[in-house]
A and B are shown apart, each in its own frame.
Chain A
Amino acid sequence: QQPVQSPQAVILREGEDAVINCSSSKALYSVHWYRQKHGEAPVFLMILLKGGEQKGHDKISASFNEKKQQSSLYLTASQLSYSGTYFCGTVYIAGGTSYGKLTFGQGTILTVHP
């Protein structure tokens, strides 16, 4: 079952902040975040394992709320280069272990204007 991302699209001006959410109805083992620019392959940003940890990557960070089975991606002081489609990919827990394969959300289109 596909995780649900929100919002579907967001438009920012340079320097503004954004939050993208990824929710699952199944127990999650890990959440993976990718950014894809038009005509290019998805680029791995970060992975979060169950345990509620938060990770950072320059001005992009993410959290994983195991209770809510939800992850949030935080983009602060956005730059033009942040524009693209952001996908979360989830690995579910089945039988006490990770199911292994990634299931992707529908994507969030982020546009940053000067």
Chain B
Amino acid sequence: SAVISQKPSRDICQRGTSLTIQCQVDSQVTMMFWYRQQPGQSLTLIATANQGSEATYESGFVIDKFPISRPNLTFSTLTVSNMSPEDSSIYLCSVEDPDIVAGVTDTQYFGPGTRLTVL
């Protein structure tokens, strides 16, 4: 499976500022995803990022708040803008890593996550 890294691993930020989270994959992948996991909660999809096209955002998430870049097939960034304490969460990127032999195309693997605390 693909090896995924994220930077930073954690950060503490002041309200009103912005943080950009990087996601790097060791192989080329078509589909990358950004999730938010609030404390003690499940994973919620923020957006799908495909190389060469605009990110597709889920209901409740907007580009002005969570701009995403996907400049190539191994890298993506998520920016959390104008932060408030409610943005304190773990942000995870994932990639779809198809298993052609098994005929499975939509298995997702997650990066280690970025733990964000907003004061």
Contact = CB atoms under 8 A, between A and B. Distances in A.
Interface in A43-66: 43-44, 47, 49
B106 interface: yes
A102 B112 contact: no
Contact of A44 (B41, B42, B108, B112): B108
A2 B59 CA distance: 13
Interface string B96-117: 0000000010111111110000
B42 A101 contact: no
Contacts of B113: 40-41
B62 interface: no
A42 B110 CA distance: 6
A106 B42 contact: yes
A102 B45 contact: yes
A41 B2 CA distance: 14
A87 to B, nearest CB: 6
Nearest to A102: B108
Nearest to B103: A49
B80 interface: no
A87 B113 CA distance: 16
Interface string B20-63: 00000000000001000000011111001000000000000000
Interface of A: 2, 30, 32, 34, 40-44, 47, 49, 87, 89, 91, 98, 100-107
Given A42-B43, A44-B1, A102-B33, 20 more contacts: A30-B104, A30-B106, A32-B107, A32-B108, A34-B110, A41-B92, A41-B112, A42-B92, A42-B110, A44-B108, A44-B109, A47-B107, A89-B43, A91-B106, A101-B33, A101-B45, A102-B45, A104-B43, A106-B41, A107-B42
22 contacts: A2-B42, A32-B108, A40-B112, A41-B111, A41-B112, A41-B113, A42-B43, A44-B1, A44-B107, A44-B108, A44-B110, A47-B104, A89-B43, A89-B108, A91-B106, A101-B48, A102-B45, A102-B108, A103-B45, A104-B43, A104-B44, A105-B42
